[in-house]
Amino acid sequence: KERVFSGVQPTGNLHLGNYLGAIVKFVELQKTHDCIYCVVDLHAITVPQKPEELKSSIREVTAAFIASGVDPKQHIVFNQSQVCEHAELAWIFNCVARIGWLNRMTQFKEKAGKDRENASVGLYAYPCLMAADILVYRATHVPVGEDQKQHLELARDIAQKFNLDFGERIAALGHGDAFFPLPEPLIQGPAARVMSLRDGAKKMSKSDPSDYSRINLADDADIIAQKVRKAKTDPEPLPSEVEGLAKRPEAENLVGIFSALNGQTKLDVLRQFGGGNFSAFKSALVDLAVAKLGPIGAEMKRLKDDTDYIDKVLLDGASRAKVIARENLAAVKDILGFVR
Ligand code: AQP
């Protein structure tokens, strides 16, 4: 079976973008793949975190996975820092990746902002750790939102360079002509990039200071209703064709959210709501969002407080992940010529 790996950062405010862009796909892929889903706490500390909040967020993301339908018995759910092989392989990849490659990463530029000299080295090297997360399991498929596309391409470049640089040794040690697969991003669907509810040009994000910019998985029905009603729109009625959404980013975003939540195409949604004003559409969107997210939010809150259960899931997941990671890392060390 092909292997899926993906991660979510425990940085608070899990939102509809994380859910539709990533977690929904995590659930679907369980039917066809062996899946490994990780709470990436080592990534979270690339920017400052408060220790108690970080701990609570790690449990919250774990709870969100399970509440959304990820099965931690059939598949693997764990916390990154509990499997030290990620950090070890990341160091090796720091020595494979080129500075020029990392200099091109747009997420670093956005997150570091103007004060780049003061950004952590970890924020800069983030994509090497992400490549290690995926490749320490030799995962073949990675479900992510569109914002992660560039990092995935870098992971493929690292895998390819490693395979080429050590090609002879890889073959001599019996691994064939490539040790690492080139991981495929899975980014399709109407919600691969969910935008802010306040500004159709910005992606929905955990760190946006306005809570009205996003729907959080933990929001209750009243809050969801308020946020959808206040969501920015334009004065035109909804179009009847998908082409009519061009240059109308807020309308396109809301239609995309509706279609993703309802498992429909955007055209299906426009067939139903095209020609009408936003208020009827928004009411239907509130009902749909509450119906889909309400039970997940409630289950998430319940699970999150059961810290014994969550911590057991993470420990069990880490020990199963470690079996795979350790074996692959040992092979990498042999390829490099380390003495074990
Ligand atoms: N707006 C989005 N639309 C679709 N997918 C998204 N993802 C994030 N935002 C959107 C996807 O969610 C997964 C987990 O993301 P993450 O927590 O690892 O990191 P992030 O991309 O940094 O999340 P945020 O919300 O954007 O946080 P900040 O505000 O800190 O930058 C990933 O698969 C991601 O693609």
**11 marked as binding residue:** yes
Interval between CA 216 and ligand 1 midpoint (Å): 12
C-alpha 259 to ligand 1 mean position (Å):
19
Alpha-carbon distance 95 to 98, whole Å?
8
Q: DSSP label at 203?
A: B
Closest CA to 187 of 333, 20, 12: 20
**Residue in 25, 203, 282, 304 annotated catalytic:** 203
Residue 174 pLDDT greater than 90, yes or no: yes
Mean pLDDT value across residues 16-37 = 97
pLDDT on residue 26: 97
Average pLDDT estimate for 252-269: 96
The single-letter DSSP state of residue 199 is -
Q: What ipTM describes this predicted complex? A: 0.96
pTM for this prediction: 0.96
From atom 2 of ligand 1, which residue's Cα is the shortest distance away?
Answer: 17
Buried (b) or exposed (e) across 313-335, using 16+ Cβ within 10 A? bbeebbebbbebbeebbebbeeb
Rounded-to-integer distance, Cα 162 and Cα 312, Å: 36
Q: Is 194 annotated for ligand binding?
A: yes
| Gap from CA of 327 to ligand 1 centroid (Å) | 30
Mean pLDDT score, 99-123: 96
Q: How far is the CA of 206 from the centre of ligand 1 (A)?
A: 7
DSSP, collapsed to helix, strand or coil, labels residue 135 as helix
Ligand 1 pocket, mutate which of 206, 208, 216, 259 (most atoms under 8 A from CB): 206
Q: Is 50 helix (H, G, I), strand (E, B) or coil?
A: coil
Task: Find out whether 145 is annotated in a ligand binding site.
Answer: yes
The answer to whether the annotation marks 213 as part of a ligand binding site is no
CA of 120 to the centre of ligand 1 (A): 20
Q: Does residue 170 contact residue 177 with C-beta atoms inside 8 Å?
A: yes
Catalytic residue among 206, 266, 301, 322: 206
Give the model's confidence band at 171: pLDDT under 50 very low, under 70 low, under 90 confident, else very high: very high
The predicted-structure confidence for 199-256, as pLDDT tens digits, reads as follows 999 999 999 999 999 999 999 999 999 999 999 999 999 999 999 999 999 999 999 9
Q: Where are the domains of the chain?
A: 3-186+307-336, 211-302
Ligand 1, CB cutoff 6 Å, lining residues: 8-9, 11, 17-18, 21-22, 144-145, 147-148, 192-194, 203-207
Q: Pick the closest to residue 185 from 131, 136, 137 (CA basis).
A: 131
Q: Which atom of ligand 1 is nearest to the CA of 47?
A: 30
User: Catalytic annotation on 111?
Assistant: yes
Nearest to 44 by CA among 101, 111, 97: 111
Q: In what order do the strands lie in the sheet with 3-8?
A: 76-79, 34-39, 3-8, 141-143, 184-186
196 assigned to a ligand binding site: no
* CATH number belonging to the domain at 3-186+307-336, selected among 3.90.1150.10, 3.40.50.620, 3.40.1360.10, 3.10.450.50: 3.40.50.620
Architecture of domain 211-302: Orthogonal Bundle (1.10)
**Catalytic residue chosen out of the listed positions 55, 111, 161, 322:** 111
- Phi/psi for 65 (5° steps) reads -60, -50
What pLDDT score does 46 carry?
A: 98
Mutate to test the pocket of ligand 1, among 40, 148, 187, 193 (most ligand atoms within 8 A of CB): 148
